[in-house]
Structure 1
Amino acid sequence: MSQHYGQPVPPQVVKRGVPGLIAALLTIGGVAVGCVGGVAIGSGGSTPEAARSPLPVSTQASSPESSSTTAAEPDTSAPEPVANAPKPSDFKIVVKIIESSCYGTAGANVTYQIKPSYNGPDLPDDGSWRISYRVTGGDNADIGSFTMTGDGNANIREQEYIQTPTCSPKLKAKVTQVLDS
């Protein structure tokens, strides 16, 4: 077979015709109907009220003496809070600026470290919490977190970085969330 260089080879076009178009439209239509049906089912369109209730519902089987079905009273008591669980208001965070590189009107790149302190009730020694905080005073707020144990030890980063709009930044930090870890 000889090859001819320099002459373009025309592309081959596959013609599917009307049957291919119908198959494609049916596939797209089936997917759309499936999505709409899934949304209707997921939103509880025809689900009985008892199945959508966030509270547990139970019924007693009827006995020969009684022909009525009764529902048990739902448990409305709140879950027991963890004893002495720390709250965001129990913490204070001081921001210590380690280094600041000033770029005039462009602001500064600042290296800082947080110094957290806990001022709440005594904590169980075997507890561990993930504390999230927000540092403000930069071009954008900086979000961070650290782990603290019940014996008062905190695992923090040695250095963090933020860009500030001025060369004399005033950084502040506030605890935003405390989670059991």
Structure 2
Amino acid sequence: MKSFILASGSPRRKELLEQAHYSFSIQASTVEEIVKAGSTPEEVVLQLANQKAEDVWSKAKDSIVLGSDTVVAFGDHILGKPENEQEAIAMLEMLSGHTHSVYTGVSICSSEGVTTFYEKTDVEFYHLSKEDIEMYIRSGEPFDKAGSYGIQGFGAFLVKRIMGDYFAVVGLPLARTMRELKKCGITPNM
């Protein structure tokens, strides 16, 4: 059986694959992420996931390599990770009381070829008071997450409802990923 490599340093993706009982190693991609100008959120996550997977696979061609990327989109704005507290506050204020979309792209590279797909999940936030936002900022959670929040942690209190795949919002659409990995001969260790 071929080895399975996660081309990401994301602790959330690692946790999800462990939760699904996979044996894998981690080799975070070091590729410079480049996005074509004018790309839609769907195209962005597919481009970035594929760049990561192909970067690692180019060094381990006897393996199955999974790359993934997640972005938060509100209207025409793609929201990355905040660079500072003010940016995190601005993003949370923007999302407050509204529905935004979370896109997670996945790329699986093997000697048989490349499989790419994405999942889109719509997330509706409660109206957030200034105190809600300040409390969430104090938690420290917003600073390493696209859109300045994590649904799987303390940030769950921000979310009124989701329409789509919860795990895609966390960082990896697990059910679809498992089905695609099975096609490559990678199955959970049970």
Higher helix share goes to which structure? 2
Bin the TM-score by the shorter chain. under 0.3
TM-score by length of 1: 0.20
Which one has the largest radius of gyration? 1
TM-score by length of 2: 0.19
Higher strand share goes to which structure? 1
